[in-house]
Amino acid sequence: MELITIAKPYVSAIIPITEEDNSQAKWEELLSAGAKLANNEIVKDFIAYPGLTKIDKINVVIGLLESILTRKLQTKENNFVKLLLINERINIIPSMLSLFKSMIGLKDNSKVFNVFSAYELSAEEKEKITNNLTIKYNKDVSIRVHIDQSLIGGIVVKDNDKVVDMSIKAKIENLNSCIATY
């Protein structure tokens, strides 16, 4: 299962909290700091170490977050971090950050898509993709282009956990699958 799919219910729970007290910036800072910790090899080893209790791990991670943020965590933030650690979901924080930014963007009538291509897209191609997505979603759209030469050709458009795969690689895999069934 993709991490973004696991992250979605957690982020969906955060959004109403941030709207209630207008704390989007603080939550984004928390998720950004959490993503740094989740990607740190020393922290990963610490979290995985079986000789420590979950309470010890929670206290250390909360201390690290407060040190990075240079502030005390609010009660809801504190409880959220505890929930992630108890459920052993600290690894999804980078995906949560990406999804959170995207979902907050939805509130302000904008949307960001990740577009994967086997080669660098021209300005015209980027504009055409952006225009088509703008029409489809009726939002201000921006795209982030990533190069993935394994696609051979075509593009893959990702919107959080939704994927539209129009790559040659996908078509070849589909053809192989059809041939294998006969």
Q: What is the CATH number of the domain that holds 99?
A: 1.10.520.20
**Tens of pLDDT, residues 109-155:** 677 888 999 999 999 999 999 999 888 888 888 888 989 999 898 89
Q: Does residue 61 share a domain with residue 94?
A: yes
The average confidence (pLDDT) of the chain is 88
Q: What angle in degrees, to the nearest 10, is found between the helix axes of 24-39 and 93-107?
A: 160
Q: Which residue has the tokens 């660098």?
A: 120
Q: Does residue 119 share a domain with residue 92?
A: no
Question: What is the dihedral sign for C-alpha 68, 71, 77, 80?
Answer: positive
Q: Give the range of the structural domain holding residue 23, as residue numbers without chain letter.
A: 3-103
- Number of domains comprising the chain: 2
Q: Which of 58, 130, 118 lies closest to 87, judged by CA?
A: 58
Question: What is the dihedral sign for C-alpha 144, 148, 154, 156?
Answer: negative
**Tens of pLDDT, residues 19-40:** 888 888 899 999 999 999 999 9
> Which of 65, 80, 103 finishes a domain?
103
Does the pTM surpass 0.85? The reply is: no
Q: Does residue 176 share a domain with residue 133?
A: yes
**Tens of pLDDT, residues 68-90:** 999 999 999 999 999 999 999 99
